[in-house]
Structure 1
Amino acid sequence: MARVRYGARTEAEITAARASSSKLPDIWSTGVVAVWESDPDAVAAVLPPPLGPTERPLVRANISKVDLTGYPLGAGSVAVAALHDGREGWYPLVMPMTHERALIGGREVFGEPKKLGEVTVERDGLLVRAALARHGIAFVEVRGAVDGPLPLPEPAEKLDFYFKFLPAVDGQGFDADPVLVHCTRNEKFRRLEKITGDVVLRESVYDPVADLPVRRVVELTIGEKTTDQKGRVAERVSAQALLPYIHQRYDDPRQILDEPPEGSV
C-alpha cells in the first residue's frame, strides 16, 4: 500500500533528520536592536522567581528579518535584563514570529514565549523603520536614520532565560514542575551601523510593553548577524511561585486563571 505519512518514521529516517539539523549553515538576519533604560520597579515586577533584576533596568527590542531560502521569516522579541545564579541575561516577555514553524519549535523545545505576529524591517537609504505588531497594533516601533558604521564586535555568547511548562489537563496549575531554561546563543556580526532615532511604545492589552517606559535610549543599531543556540535546564522551579506570571504567555488570562488579575482590564 502507499505510505501512510502519519505512520512511524524508520530509525534511519530519524537518524538522518538529526544529522541534517546538526549541520545547518550560517543563517543571516538583518535586524534592528533598541535598548533602553526603563522604570526599575516595572522591570522587577515582570520577573518570575528565581529571576531577579540587574543593576540597570534595561529593556531590549530585537526586530529582524531572517534570510531563510524560500521561507523568509520575521522574528522579534522584547526582553528585560535579568539575573540568575550570578549570571546576567535577558528574559523575553513576547517573541512575535511571522510563521507557525518558528513559533512551535521555540515554544515546545525551549519554552520561548513566541506568538504569531507581524514583523517589519524597512530601510530606504538612510531611513529605517522597524516594528512589532499583533492584533493590528504596532506595540513597538523604532524610527530613525543611519548615522554611520560601528566597529564589528567580537563573536560573543548571549544568554536568555525561559520558563518551560504545560498547563494541567484539569486546569489546576501545571502537569509537572516547570523548569527554568538557560538558552545560550553564539552571535557573530558582518555589518553594524548606528541609528539616530527614537523608540515608540503603543498601548496594547495583549502585549503591554508600554508598561516598560523609555526613560533613556541606550542603543539603537541595525546590522547583519548570524547566531546558533542551545539550551539546558538550569533548575526546576516552584509551581506556586511561577503561577502568577504565566498569563504573560497568553493573550487571554482566562486560559489559565478563572478571571484576569485585578486591575488588568
Structure 2
Amino acid sequence: MARVRYGARTEAEIAASREARSRLPDIWSTGVTALWESDPDAVAAVLPPPLKPSGRPLVRASISKVDLPGYPLGAGSVAVAAVHDGHEGWYPLVMPMTHERALTGGREVFGEPKKLGEVSVERDGLVVRARLVRHGIAFVEIRGAVGEPLPLPEPVTKLDFYFKFLPAVDGEGFDSGPVLIHCTRNEKFRRLERITGDVVLRESMYDPVADLPVRRLIELTIGEKTSDQQGRAVERVSADALLPYVHQRYDDPQQIHDGPPEGSVR
C-alpha cells in the first residue's frame, strides 16, 4: 500500500523533524517599529491578571517583512509594556500574520494572539509606509522619512507575555486551566535607521488599538534584525480573572454583519 500521508509518523521521522527545527539558520526581517507613551488608565485596562502596568504607559507597534526562503511573511504586533513577578516585558494585544502557517503555530504552541491580516512595509528611497490591515481597515499606519543611521544595539533578550488556553467546547469558560507563558527572544541587528514621521491609529471594532492613543511619540525606526524564540509556562492563572479578557483574542462573530466605519482607509 502506498504511504498514507495522514498516517502516524515513525519515531525516526519525528526525531528528524525535531532536529531540523533546532538547526534553523538566522532568518532576517526588515521592520518598522514605533514606540509611544499612551494613556496610563487605558494601558492598565487591557492587562489581564496577574500582569501589571510597568512604570511607563508604553505601547509598541512592530510591522515587518520576514525573509522566509520561498515563503515571505508579513508579521505585525501591537503590544503594551507590562510586568509579571518582577520581570518587565510586553503584552501583545494583536499579532497580524499574512500566512496561516505562522498563525497556527504561534497560537497553539505559545498562545500568541495571532490573526490573519495584511501586513506591508514599503520603502521608496527615503519614504517609508508600513501598515497593519484587517477587515479592510488600516488600523495602524506608520509614515515617514528615513533619517540618519543609528548605532547598532548590542544583542538583547526581550520578554513577551502570552496566555495559553482552550475555550470550552460548550462555550462556557475553558476546557483546562489557562497558563501564563514567558516567551524570550534573543535579537540582534545588522541595520538600524531613524524615521521622522507619525503613527496613525484608525478606528476598528475588530482591532481597537485606537483606544491606546499616541500621547508622546518616543521613537520611530526601520531596521534589519534576526531573533530566536523560546517559551516556558510559568504559572497557571485564574480562569475567572482571565475570562473577561478572552475577547481580545477573537473577532466577535456578530461583527461580521457590520461594515467598516465611515471614512476608514485601506
Could you tell me the TM-score, scaled by structure 1's length? 0.95
The residue number in structure 1 matching 2:210 is: 210
Q: 1:14 matched to which residue of 2? A: 14
Whether the 8 Å contact between 1:247 and 1:253 is mirrored in structure 2 is no
Identity of matched residues, %: 84
Q: Which runs of 5+ in 1 are unaligned?
A: 256-265
Aligned length: 255
Deviation for aligned residue 1:63 = 0.2
Match of 2:133 in 1: 133
Deviation track 1:145-204 (CA, whole Å, cap 9, x = no partner) reads 011100000000000000000001111100111000000000000000000000000000
Note the alpha carbon deviations across 1:24-57, whole angstroms, 9 max, x for none.
0000000000000000000000000000001100
Q: CA RMSD in A?
A: 1.0
Moved more, 168-177 or 97-106: 168-177
- Structure 2 residue 134 is matched with structure 1 residue 144: no
Match runs of 1:21-100 below 5 Å:
21-100=21-100
Give the direction of change, closer, same or farther, for the CA distance of 1:253–1:82 in structure 2 (3 Å limit): farther
Paired position in structure 1 for 2:180 = 180
The 3-state SS of whatever aligns with 1:175 is coil
Which residue number in structure 2 is paired with residue 244 of structure 1? 244
User: Aligned equivalents of 2:253 and 2:87: distance in 1?
Assistant: 31
Cα distance in 1, alignment partners of residues 34 and 28 from structure 2? 19
- Matched letter for residue 126 of structure 2: L
1:103 is aligned to 103
Q: Which SS does the other structure have where 1:60 is aligned?
A: strand
- Aligned AA for 2:96? P
CA shift, 1:253, in A, is 6.5
Q: Report how far residue 254 of structure 1 moved.
A: 6.9
Structure-2 change in CA distance of 1:253 and 1:85 (3 Å): farther
2:198 paired residue number? 198
TM-score (norm. length: structure 2): 0.95
Match of 1:258 in 2: none
* 1:112/1:163 contact within 8 Å kept: yes
Corresponding residue for residue 263 of structure 1: none
Question: What is the letter of the counterpart of residue 228 of structure 1?
Answer: D
Give 3-state SS (helix, strand or coil) of 1:107's partner.
helix
